Amino acid sequence: MKKEEDTERIVPKTSTVTFDDVIGHKQVKERLKAIVKIFTNPKIVDDFKISPPKGMLIYGPESVGKGMLARAFANAADVPYFEITGSKLFDAAYIKSVYQEAIKHAPSIVILKDIDIKGLYHGTITNISFADVAKEIEDVPITEGKYVFTVATAVEIEEIDPVLLSPGKLDFLIEVSRLDPEARRFFIEKILQKPNDGKIDVQRIVRYITGLGAADLERLGRMAALAVIEQGKKVITEDILIEQINIIKYGHKIESQMIRNLEQEMQMTAYHEAAHAILSYILLPNVKIEQITISPRSKMLGFVSYNNEEQIASVTKEEIFHDICVLHAGQIAKMKKAGKRSAI
């Protein structure tokens, strides 16, 4: 009875999301459009004597639009899709039922959202049954008109069992990086449609929000508007916007009375953060310092933040050594000043 009820709830969806709705990620979208051509014309691979691909994995940080890209793919392919997410990913019977329905509605797409999700089974943290998913992908037909394609999303590709990434399963691996400047600018310009003083440096704010996801930036606009109302002001200013960014990144400011020996702590924090900043400026001149503050927050007493927009993944041994020196600079400075160790 339960299985019949589950099957009744499994209905195909039609995506209204287009690639134009996804901000940024130009190269990713171009690649997905190319894969759509293969999905809609699977015979294109016959000349190379290989079977048509059965799926792809879209992976990358949270809140960068992976789910929207998956639905935009379904829209571009002009086929119905089925989505499996949350606890349903741990239900092998449900997954099987979804694929059976997908075959009935083929050509179609099955979206497996966040397949690196963790669950609790008999008191043990566990992954989904990758073997069950792999079997369903393996068993779907690839005949003309009965093509079922799987689109999985995940944050960490390392969490995905190699069985799913083997040939004939999730053949395409699509990495989606954090939001690029174009995408971040879109969100800031959207925020600036709200009442503001007209003096906000958009480029500066775009740099400040490096690393934040779409959900954070949607929240930023709401937080800024509420802060204006809370403070009895009329418009959003750059200071208000930056403070909300800092709250998202580093936590709320701590009231001074909550810190014991406030003056001494702030003095030591000043030495600590100044040391980080000075040594960074000397040893890592290509790493741009975003801001330096000793204003205590819930996540830290002070900090030096950097803009990592142009930072490359490959670094030299010397650069790693310089990074370590900068990390320890604050501790060494406080030891020199007060003769005691501190947190890095």
pLDDT in tens, 294-303: 777 777 778 8
pLDDT of residue 4: 46
Cα–Cα distance measured from residue 79 to residue 107, given in angstroms and rounded to the nearest whole number: 6
- Cβ atoms of 304 and 269 within 8 Å: the answer is no
Q: Say if residue 317 is exposed, middle or buried (CB neighbours under 10 Å; 0-12, 13-18, 19+).
A: exposed
Query: Is a pLDDT exceeding 90 seen at residue 2?
Result: no
Query: Is a pLDDT exceeding 80 seen at residue 1?
Result: no
Greater confidence, 30 or 265? Answer: 30
Nearest to 54 by CA among 108, 117, 132: 108
pLDDT band, residue 304 (cuts 50/70/90): confident
**Cα Rg of the chain (Å, integer):** 25
Show the tokens assigned to 112: 């497996």
Cα–Cα distance measured from residue 224 to residue 324, given in angstroms and rounded to the nearest whole number: 36
Cα–Cα distance measured from residue 31 to residue 37, given in angstroms and rounded to the nearest whole number: 10
pLDDT of residue 104: 92
Nearest to 219 by CA among 232, 229, 209, 231: 209
Query: Is a pLDDT exceeding 60 seen at residue 53?
Result: yes
pLDDT of residue 5: 46
Query: Is a pLDDT exceeding 70 seen at residue 7?
Result: no
User: Which range (195-204, 231-240, 278-287, 307-316) has the least confidence?
Assistant: 307-316
Instruction: Give the pLDDT mean for 326-337.
Output: 86
pLDDT of residue 310: 59
pLDDT band, residue 46 (cuts 50/70/90): confident
| DSSP string over 79-100 | --EEEE-GGGGG-HHHHHHHHH
For 85-142, the pLDDT digits (tens) are: 988 888 889 999 999 999 999 999 999 999 988 776 556 677 778 888 999 998 887 7
pLDDT of residue 37: 93
pLDDT of residue 250: 86
pLDDT of residue 235: 97
Greater confidence, 264 or 73? Answer: 73
Greater confidence, 241 or 256? Answer: 241
pLDDT of residue 182: 87
Largest CA distance in the chain: 75
Q: Which phi-psi region, left, alpha or beta, contains residue 338 (left: φ > 0; alpha: ψ -120 to 50)?
A: alpha
Query: Is a pLDDT exceeding 80 seen at residue 193?
Result: yes
pLDDT of residue 124: 65
For 164-179, the pLDDT digits (tens) are: 998 889 999 999 998 8
